[in-house]
């Protein structure tokens, strides 16, 4: 195992799964950077290991000032805090099934060494399958289920992934860290996949040069749609009710913002713009059969209570 990997606890669950996110470019809706931290907080997951820095990060680029530098907090000249690069593993679970959560920072340098250390840790922990999350912005209805793009490491995984209401990416261009690691995962024969959720973002510049665009910074709807898939695929049994409420609150907030914009600038026909997006959009919701039964039974019992 790489000398950069330090694991001080290796839980002995029969099955262990991994959800991964990074501080990275493909972080629309804060999916990659904030969703893993949300899971850590909600499950009270405990830190069990980390990947140590081996010159993965730049301190500066000439011509920039704050772009890459660590942040420091001083009080009366004394250092109270200095931010460091995080590449940490957390764990929650029981003897039967466990969830490992990794929150890292996309490396600037030595990507091959970073990949080797990452997968050495995965193999040392006995991870059965690795799921990576990310987000990209796009013009889509804010009140519809998010489209999920999928890439995977082993060809045998495609048939199963099709069940999760995803579309398979045909992207060509610069690789994110999640996509970059596909190659190493395949060489090691590991089941590794990346789910990129499309996060609503609107460019209103064609409607008015004075009107700014709009995008969702923390897309709880995308978080919820992704976690529905992970919950089912990994059999985690996580309570997603709070995240579902946050998703619904987000949609209401977006509705209010659109209404306010429409009332203030009716001549721009913002509502018409969004309706056109909806007409051109094909929604592909993910609703596993067990969830359908649970919801239908819940509605039935509610109706019986009301009638009783």
Helix (H) or strand (E) segment spanning residue 32: helix 31-43
Q: Which residues lie closer than 8 Å to 93 by C-beta, 6 or more apart?
A: 11, 13, 16, 99
Per-residue pLDDT averaged across 293-301, rounded?
Answer: 52
Residues 6+ apart with CB under 8 A from 37: 21, 103
pLDDT at 299: 55
What does R_g of the chain's alpha carbons equal in angstroms?
A: 22
pLDDT of 111 > 70? The answer is: yes
pLDDT tens, 257-271?
Answer: 999 888 887 877 888
pLDDT at 85: 79
Give pLDDT tens digits for 11-56.
Answer: 999 999 999 999 998 999 999 999 999 999 999 999 999 999 888 8
- pTM for the model: 0.88
3-state SS assignment for residue 75: strand
Beta pairing class for 192-202 and 148-152:
antiparallel
pLDDT tens digit sequence for 3-14: 999 999 999 999
CA distance 277 to 280: 5
- Predicted confidence at residue 36, as pLDDT, reads 97
- The domain defined by 5-307 folds into Rossmann fold (3.40.50)
pLDDT at 71 over 80: no
Residue 293 pLDDT class (50, 70, 90 cuts): very low
Q: How confident is the model at residue 77 (pLDDT cuts 50, 70, 90)?
A: low
Domain boundaries of the chain, sorted by first residue: 5-307
What is the chain's mean pLDDT, rounded? 88
Distances (CA, A) of 288 to 164, 248, 291: 9, 20, 5
pLDDT over 90 for what percent of the chain? Answer: 68
260: tokens are 């306010």
The pLDDT value recorded for residue 72 is 59
pLDDT at 249: 97
Q: Which two tokens stand for residue 21?
A: 């996110």
Average of pLDDT values for 240-246? 96
Average pLDDT value for residue range 115-139 = 97
């Amino acid at each position: 195992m790489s000398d950069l990997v330090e694991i001080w606890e290796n839980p002995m669950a029969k099955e262990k799964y991994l959800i991964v996110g990074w501080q990275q470019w493909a972080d629309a809706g804060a999916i990659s950077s904030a969703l893993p931290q949300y899971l850590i907080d909600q499950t009270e997951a405990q830190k069990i290991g980390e990947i140590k820095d081996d010159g993965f990060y730049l301190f500066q680029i000439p011509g920039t000032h704050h772009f890459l530098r660590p942040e420091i907090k001083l009080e009366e000249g004394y250092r109270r805090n200095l931010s460091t690069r995080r590449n940490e593993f957390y764990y929650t679970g029981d003897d039967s099934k466990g969830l490992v959560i990794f929150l890292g920072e996309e490396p600037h340098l030595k990507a091959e060494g970073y990949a080797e250390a990452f997968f050495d840790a995965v193999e040392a922990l006995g991870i059965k399958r690795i799921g990576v999350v990310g987000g990209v912005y796009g013009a889509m209805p804010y009140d519809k289920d998010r489209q999920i793009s999928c890439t995977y490491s082993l060809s045998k995984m495609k048939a199963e992934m099709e069940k999760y209401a995803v579309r398979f990416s045909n992207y060509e261009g610069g690789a994110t860290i999640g996509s970059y690691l596909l190659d190493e995962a395949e060489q090691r024969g590991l089941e590794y996949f990346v789910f990129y959720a499309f996060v609503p973002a609107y460019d209103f510049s064609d409607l008015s040069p004075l009107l700014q665009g709009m995008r969702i910074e923390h897309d709880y709807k995308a978080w919820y749609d992704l976690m529905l898939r992970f919950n089912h695929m990994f059999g985690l049994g996580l309570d997603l009710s709070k995240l579902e409420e946050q998703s619904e609150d987000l949609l209401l907030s977006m509705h209010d913002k659109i209404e306010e914009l429409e009332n203030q600038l009716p001549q721009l026909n913002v509502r018409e713009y969004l309706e056109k997006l909806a007409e051109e959009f094909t929604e592909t919701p993910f609703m596993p059969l067990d969830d359908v039964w649970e919801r239908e039974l819940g509605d039935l019992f509610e109706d019986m209570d009301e009638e009783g």
